[in-house]
Structure 1
Amino acid sequence: MKKNKSMIMKTKSKYIWLFATLLAVSACSSDDDSLTTSIEAPKPELSNGEADFSKYIAVGASFSGGYTDGALFIAGQENSFPNMLSQKFALVGGGTFSQPLMNDNIGGLVAGTTVLANPRFYFDGSGPAILPATPTTQATNVLTGPFNNYGIPGMKSFHLGVAGYGSLNPYFGRMASSAGATVLGDAVAQSPTFFSLSEIGGNDVLGYALSGGTGVDQTGNFNPATYGANDITDPNVFATSFNAAVSALIGANNAKGVVGNVPYITSLAHFTTVPHNPLDPSNPDFGPQIPTLNNVFGALNPIFQAIDPSRAIVFSETEASPVVIRDETLADISVQIATALNNSPTFPAFLAQFGLDGSNPVVVQLVANLLGQTYGQTRQATENDLFVLPSSSIIGQVNQTYAQFLAGQGLPAQVAGQFAIEGVTLPLEDKWVLIPSEQASIKTATDAYNATIESAATDNGLALVDFKGILEEASTSGIFTGDYILNTSLVTGGLISLDGVHLTARGYAVMANEIMKAIDATYGSNFEASGNLLNVSNYGVTYSPMLQ
């Protein structure tokens, strides 16, 4: 088994020809309407119904802010759904709408020369890549308000009322009215007559999901999608925070508003793009290694079969094979593995094929213990496991840190490298995968959040948008809108941006339309009937790298 640096085809390479199709049509186009000619009845004049849009305030997280392609930048902010809504509201008495714009279209944040958040992604011809530029937006430059859009990337439900939150989250810090301000306080101070309270609850589970259920930020930098502790927010804490926000925004003006429920975020492209079985036997870097790999795991599989047959690891020579993962819900059988190998009469010969001295009891015990520690809680992935998007860049790669660890234990460098291949001989860590129990925790919390949101809407007569149902539709049959069928596929779906989580401009236009439909149903406005919904065809799905 030779040491190699890439045992799978790059996940993003499949997008090269797909993106060419995307540029041509963006998604499936329907020409059915062109086959018939009809005379439409005159549309009614646009009416705001019972809603007063003279002071519209948006409160939310990254979606409200216009976050897309992994960053906040001017073009994305201008295509935020609150800004789109404000332009429609202006037709029926809506006032000006101010946003805390970034410096440019590079995206990202800096504090002095320290990069807090990276530039946006762009499509490099094969997949998402970080724009090769340096952010210019200084987090310490506080803008002069007031503002109408309080869409704060990274904000969780309980952050709404945290005094001095701007010192913790630089996106709010650059727009806060004072050092001790709260997001909710600044929003309410504008005396809204109409408000949107959207995607509250998304970040309460998203940080946990993006970290593979570990609760640990993988990036090392400020990440607006995972800011703060990444544990799932307790539903009772969420309920208290959300209901307080609704009461405060309604306030003395008896403001009307719209709220949105929380989708199952595991349906987003960030969690559905990387397959559980990316190890392709036709890949010349992987296929020739399969016999040796099966020989390696052949020493362990009898132990697995005796304890738990589902843990057996076999790589197919004819079909794509699943990666090997660590599953912390499995019983730890490290000791049993080490003991069985130490006592195996065939283990010395197994070691000899790797150039190790199988006649030396010290070597036998060392390697037996290392194999026990490595594979004590492992199995091959199934279709029920979800992999975070960044895992595509490490599967099949040699984990140099682990290889150095093995070398430090006395293994030859070549052998150490052979047993440090991510997802093959080295089980993928928890941070790269959401196992079913972690997915269930996300779903349970999301359902609880949505029960609170729906009750708040009913009790206060607010419009409610079923974003959960919309995303489910997009991830299954696709959303039919205008000339397009939009789905949640990365790059080609048209709905989800290059970061795999946030929406494209076209996706935000769809979101704005659904909000207007909900307002129509609740407050008697007629954005849809009067023909004043947004034409999603006017909004793109990606931004040029030249836009800076």
Structure 2
Amino acid sequence: MGCSSDDAMMVDDEEEVVYTNGSADFSTFVALGNSLTAGYSDGALSLQGQEASLPYILSEQFSLVGGGEFTQPLVSDNLGGMTLGGQQILDNRLILSFASGSPAPVNVSGMPSTEVSSVLSGGFNNMGVPGAKIFHLGVEGYGNVGGLLNGTANPYFVRFASSANASIMADAMAQSPTFFSLWIGNNDILSYAIAGGAGENQAGNLDPTTYGSNDITDPNVFAAVYNGLLQILTSGGAKGVVANIPDITTIPYFTTVPYNPVPLDATTAGMLNAAFANYNAGLQQMQSYGFITMDEMNARTIVYSEGASNAMLIEDEDLTDLTAYGIPNYRLTTANDLIVLTAQNIIGTTVNEDPTLINGVSVPLSDQWVLTPQEQQMVATAQTSFNATIDALATNYGLAMVDVEGVMDMLANGGITVNGSTLTSTYATGGAFSLDGVHPSSRGYAYLANEFIAAINATYGSDLPGVNPIDYTALYLE
């Protein structure tokens, strides 16, 4: 069979898809927030992370409907660390290494080339600043290099602040945004949680200048500042999208290390029980005097057994203080405790190379390694209040709102299927989170970008397309 040159050739002409912006104007998009906006991932801010940052992905889709150039304060390399005066002050990013024979997160080696004091020029659309709390956005001098030594400045903002006295908000508004994203407030509870509750709950304290770096922000302060930010951002008629704060118990930083990881043989368990016999007897005496309840006595009693799943010894400041009687605030962990991810580096190690002094077994883990139920409740109470504020103000200002809390819940409870691949919050292998256990992977940010786009389309009548999260990296290997 054959054909002649006279036979007609059929050509499928694909019509170009035209997207619309609805009632939103994306010509000047400015993103405000913290590390989640900056593109922070794997414990650092790298070029790869910034190139897959949530707002950058959004800006690429906005460009289909008139969105303008989106500039970011790019770091100098993919190592992620930073130097000040030639001395490294921020760690390099994490990668999954198989050098030890089993996979483990390690900091990539090399001296970073990003120097904090080398200030970048020009305005930037991505105003995400790692470490920023809600009340930091309006602080003048937050990018003053001279303030790094006394802790009043942020090294990430130092790199691109327009002046020593600039604030994040002022630099953002100098660009006259027509559309904005605001995802802020995570650090107002997260810094406390990551520190294992080694901070203070500042509920009732309306002066954030007195807060410590790991404290929980007062809900009234949060509400007042958030409202003030939206008043400024919408003052020129800009529209925008905001996002709420996830439940910290859904992220792998708090769900990866089990509460009972201690293996013991019968001999070691017997030795430990003998060592804690006097402690247990003291508890019984305190209970008989009525100083503690029977339930607290049982909760504090230290008993080890032969096997691979012994709980860990911790110091719990919320227990009844019996130190005046020579009885420390010790107990064993339970399934209700959350062990922070970094505790895996200390559990089972010895103190001063003494084989009898084992962290988490014969030596209690301190407050910074465990988030107790009481501490979790303080975080949850603040988060609930913060999210109620965000939801109400998003409605009041007519803004698109993204339920990131709901997304994280789904990732932690069965996962989310995307184009045949399932994203979960499982550490290292789930695809949604990076190796620091807190920040999304590039794939996770891409999925969140789609959630932002869906909310924007629903609110403003646009029909922006999403991206394929599977096109983005889930895990960086050595």
* Same topology, TM > 0.5: yes
AA of the residue aligned to 1:277: N
Matched, 1:159 2:136: yes
- Which of the two has greater helix per residue? 1
Q: Which position in structure 1 is the counterpart of 2:170?
A: 185
Q: Which position in structure 2 is the counterpart of 1:378?
A: 330
Does the residue aligned with 1:390 lie in a helix, a strand or coil? helix
CA distance in 2, matches of 1:514, 1:257: 14
CA distance in 2, matches of 1:256, 1:242: 16
Contact 1:195 1:257 in 2 (8 A): yes
What are the Cα deviations for residues 472-503 of structure 1, in whole angstroms up to 9, with x where unaligned? 11111211222221111110110110001001
Q: Mark the CA change 1:156 to 1:287 in structure 2 (over 3 Å): closer, same or farther.
A: farther
Contact 1:483 1:537 in 2 (8 A): no
Give 1:48 shift. Answer: 1.1
Matched, 1:311 2:311: no
Q: Which position in structure 2 is the counterpart of 1:537?
A: 470
Contact 2:261 2:308 in 1 (8 A): no
Q: Which position in structure 1 is the counterpart of 2:312?
A: 323
Match of 2:213 among 229, 234, 252: 229
Q: Which position in structure 1 is the counterpart of 2:386?
A: 449
Ranked by relative contact order (alpha carbons within 8 Å, sequence separation 6 or more), the top structure is 1
Give 1:311 shift. Answer: 1.2
Contact 2:97 2:477 in 1 (8 A): no
**Residues 76-225 of structure 1 aligned to structure 2 (within 5 Å):** 76-125=49-98, 126-167=103-144, 168-198=153-183, 200-215=184-199
Matched, 1:479 2:416: yes
What are the Cα deviations for residues 513-539 of structure 1, in whole angstroms up to 9, with x where unaligned? 000000011001112xxxx21011101
Question: Any gaps of 5 or more consecutive residues in structure 1?
Answer: 1-41, 217-226, 339-371, 404-413
Two-structure CA RMSD over aligned residues (Å)? 1.8
CA distance in 1, matches of 2:394, 2:343: 39
Matched, 1:431 2:368: yes
Contact 2:266 2:305 in 1 (8 A): no
CA distance in 1, matches of 2:298, 2:252: 32
Matched, 1:494 2:431: yes
CA distance in 2, matches of 1:287, 1:150: 57
CA distance in 1, matches of 2:17, 2:23: 16
Contact 2:416 2:422 in 1 (8 A): yes
AA of the residue aligned to 1:202: N
CA distance in 1, matches of 2:66, 2:21: 8
CA distance in 2, matches of 1:332, 1:380: 16
Matched, 1:70 2:43: yes
CA distance in 2, matches of 1:482, 1:228: 44
Give 1:287 shift. Answer: 5.7
Match of 1:520 among 457, 463, 474: 457
CA distance in 2, matches of 1:134, 1:228: 31
Give 1:98 shift. Answer: 0.3
Does the residue aligned with 1:301 lie in a helix, a strand or coil? helix
Question: Any gaps of 5 or more consecutive residues in structure 2?
Answer: 1-14, 145-152, 201-210, 288-296
Does the residue aligned with 1:58 lie in a helix, a strand or coil? strand
**Residues 278-357 of structure 1 aligned to structure 2 (within 5 Å):** 278-281=261-264, 288-306=267-285, 307=287, 308-336=297-325, 338=326
CA distance in 2, matches of 1:93, 1:335: 69
Give 1:44 shift. Answer: 7.0
**Which is worse superposed, 49-58 or 289-298?**
289-298
Contact 1:57 1:192 in 2 (8 A): yes
Q: Which position in structure 2 is the counterpart of 1:223?
A: none
TM-score (norm 2): 0.87
Q: Mark the CA change 1:323 to 1:140 in structure 2 (over 3 Å): closer, same or farther.
A: same
Q: Mark the CA change 1:99 to 1:512 in structure 2 (over 3 Å): closer, same or farther.
A: same
Q: Which position in structure 2 is the counterpart of 1:220?
A: none
AA of the residue aligned to 1:424: V
- Which of the two has greater strand per residue? 2
AA of the residue aligned to 2:262: L
Q: Which position in structure 1 is the counterpart of 2:150?
A: none
CA distance in 2, matches of 1:421, 1:318: 17
CA distance in 1, matches of 2:136, 2:308: 48
Q: Which position in structure 1 is the counterpart of 2:446?
A: 509
Matched, 1:267 2:250: yes
Contact 2:39 2:45 in 1 (8 A): yes
**Which is worse superposed, 235-244 or 179-188?**
235-244
CA distance in 1, matches of 2:274, 2:212: 45
Does the residue aligned with 2:242 lie in a helix, a strand or coil? strand
AA of the residue aligned to 2:216: I
Contact 2:350 2:358 in 1 (8 A): yes
Match of 1:470 among 385, 407, 412: 407
CA distance in 2, matches of 1:510, 1:109: 28
CA distance in 1, matches of 2:16, 2:159: 44
Contact 2:199 2:212 in 1 (8 A): no
Q: Which position in structure 2 is the counterpart of 1:240?
A: 224
AA of the residue aligned to 1:68: S
AA of the residue aligned to 1:274: V
CA distance in 2, matches of 1:70, 1:163: 27
Give 1:235 shift. Answer: 1.2
AA of the residue aligned to 1:104: D
Match of 1:461 among 375, 398, 405: 398
CA distance in 1, matches of 2:266, 2:186: 41
